[in-house]
Chains A and B, each alone.
Chain A
């Protein structure tokens, strides 16, 4: 490796100095400044929270991100459409497969192709399974953030079963990269349907366990009830979506209200809401959603049609000129891709609307006046994935 040139060194020093100025700007003022992160046990990732404290009370708090910014919106402009899925399933790495689906659907919408029914079913199944894998971890993680160490191990134990099933189909546990424009890469392996049904049973047991162990715990309730209340209208203004807004009593689920061609409308399921809007409500709604997702998967497995898994698409994928926005109800909330195509192999512009970015943008508003332990409760209950914020 060659030594950096002098201009490079100067630029580096200038960069450090500018960062220091920003830090000073943020971190000065009255009261004590508590800097949480980017290395902190509670931020699962590299989110940094600068909180001004008065005693243990938060006067103002400001999340600072960008420590994991990977520039996916720029990178998509130099990747062909099939290559983009590799990038986007690294956005919300826990709900991996669900990230690919809206992008593929947007491309399909522009190309006016539709995946065959069997592919739609398998997509929906894998989508819901990544939701379970994602939310199961949340259910344990929220408890560990509040100091109970045990539930998170149960979450990891049972999430493993789901990941195994996803791996059996896609070959990847974290980055399946399985969705293709016009269908899927492969069909389901033999015997997978029965195995998955058994796994869904285990996950329901897990949800029951969490209901007893965490939701039923008095200390958990005192820590979460009435903490971080989000009124529905404020939540909508900040673009909160998914379980966060449903916990504020808004009955809105993109799976039901804006079906985008997947198989959710073929099965019988329920959108869970909670009127309270506090941290407890958010946990409760996610718990119910995890359980509901296992029922969705079960029903889809029963009714999965036979047939091809790939529609007829050209071998070089050139997407016709146009713009499309497709959003789906991902584990973390609404995830959408605004795809602008100029009729080329590569997208002209992709705007990634990720759920956590909007969900966490309410944090400065929400964290005013709470106690330090409540910062953790609120952030844990808003549930973000750093990759989903920074993209």
Chain B
């Protein structure tokens, strides 16, 4: 374990010097992960002073956890969740002009899937965050979940606390975790159908009744840059 000075001082120093942002701590962390996981890492991304994102291969998901906890000393398990990268077929569910145009479902679904930091090829991506108490740096691990069979290895053998997080992710996204002892629903009633956090799951309240948020405020600030226009 390499002990380094606080990440944020490094950034501040870099900023003070006027140099482009360089985060030596997080660069080193990313490098350590690439070392430990070898070719299992697809992409590593460092956002200086903020975050490290490591994307690993789907089949190396458990191996990544093991390497993080037992190899690199990331003992603190922060959270595990997932992202549905498909653009919502319902648009933003706002009643701004551009939203009402695309309100009929399907038109927006044609938009391509664009993943965030670290990239991604599939619609679903699991992400988990672990934290090192030695270096005080958190790392976000990501892995793609296959579209045709949304399942991935469970982390439960490495981080016991992942139990509820995986149950939540299972019910919200419909992702299976192989090796999890009881993927029961955590929040929703036993027979709830559908996976609410998927983008194609409609938010019924918005479908039934339009959101008043934009209508009843005094003319959306900034619609007109002129201050006097509001008065």
Contacts and interface: CB of A to CB of B under 8 A. Distances in A.
Contacts of A40: none
Contacts of A34: none
A259 interface: yes
B77 A78 contact: no
B78 A239 contact: yes
Contacts of A237: 69, 75, 77, 159-161
B116 to A, nearest CB: 5
A316 B190 contact: no
B196 A358 contact: no
A371 B159 CA distance: 27
A299 interface: no
B161 A358 contact: yes
A73 interface: yes
Interface in A56-98: 65-66, 69, 71, 73-75, 77-80, 83
DSSP class of B's interface residues: helix, strand, loop or mixed? loop
Contacts of A181: none
B202 to A, nearest CB: 10
A334 B159 CA distance: 18
A365 B160 contact: yes
B213 A80 contact: yes
B183 interface: no
Given A238-B161, A239-B161, A358 B79 contact: yes
B8 interface: yes
B116 A18 contact: no
Interface string B111-145: 00010110000000001010001001010100000
A44 to B, nearest CB: 19
A324 interface: yes
A79 B213 contact: yes
B53 interface: yes
A361 B163 contact: yes
B51 A18 contact: no
Nearest to A265: B8
A250 B133 CA distance: 9
A31 to B, nearest CB: 19
Contact of B8 (A65, A80, A259): A259
A73 B164 CA distance: 16
Interface stretch (B29-37, B101-109, B146-154, B217-225): B217-225
DSSP class of A's interface residues: helix, strand, loop or mixed? mixed
B94 interface: yes
Interface in A334-385: 334, 336, 338, 340, 342, 344-346, 349, 351, 353, 357-358, 361-362, 365
B196 to A, nearest CB: 6
Contact of B164 (A327, A334, A357): A357
Nearest to A357: B164
B222 A14 contact: no
Query: Interface residues of A toward B: which range?
Result: 35 or more
Contacts of B138: 258, 325, 327
A351 B160 CA distance: 20
A66 B172 CA distance: 13
A234 interface: yes
Interface residues of B, number: 58
A242 B83 CA distance: 27
A238 B80 CA distance: 12
Contact of B160 (A19, A234, A342): A234
Given A252-B133, A257-B136, A74 B197 contact: yes
A128 interface: no
Interface string B198-231: 0001010010000101000000111101000000
Nearest to A14: B191
Q: Which of A73, A109, A238 has the most CB of B within 10 A?
A: A238
A325 B116 CA distance: 13
A236 interface: yes
A171 interface: no
Interface string B86-108: 01100011101000000000000
A323 B94 CA distance: 22
Interface string A15-50: 101110110000000000000000000000000000
Given A338-B81, A338-B127, A349-B83, A65 B186 contact: yes
Contacts of A344: 92
A214 to B, nearest CB: 30
Interface string B35-50: 0000000000001001
A325 B94 contact: no
Nearest to B142: A323
Contacts of A21: 190
B225 A324 contact: no
B94 A353 contact: no
Interface in A233-287: 233-234, 236-241, 250, 252, 257-259
A66 B186 contact: yes
Interface string A138-157: 00000000000000000000
Interface of B: 6, 8, 47, 50-51, 53, 69, 75-79, 81, 83-84, 87-88, 92-94, 96, 114, 116-117, 127, 129, 133, 136, 138, 140, 159-161, 163-165, 172, 184-192, 196-197, 201, 203, 206, 211, 213, 220-223, 225
Given A83-B213, A109-B50, A239-B79, 9 more contacts: A15-B189, A15-B191, A74-B196, A80-B213, A238-B161, A342-B87, A345-B96, A349-B197, A351-B83
A-B pairs with lowest CB-CB distance, top 5: A315-B222, A18-B191, A238-B161, A66-B187, A18-B190
9 contacts: A17-B191, A74-B203, A234-B160, A238-B159, A250-B133, A322-B117, A325-B50, A353-B78, A358-B79
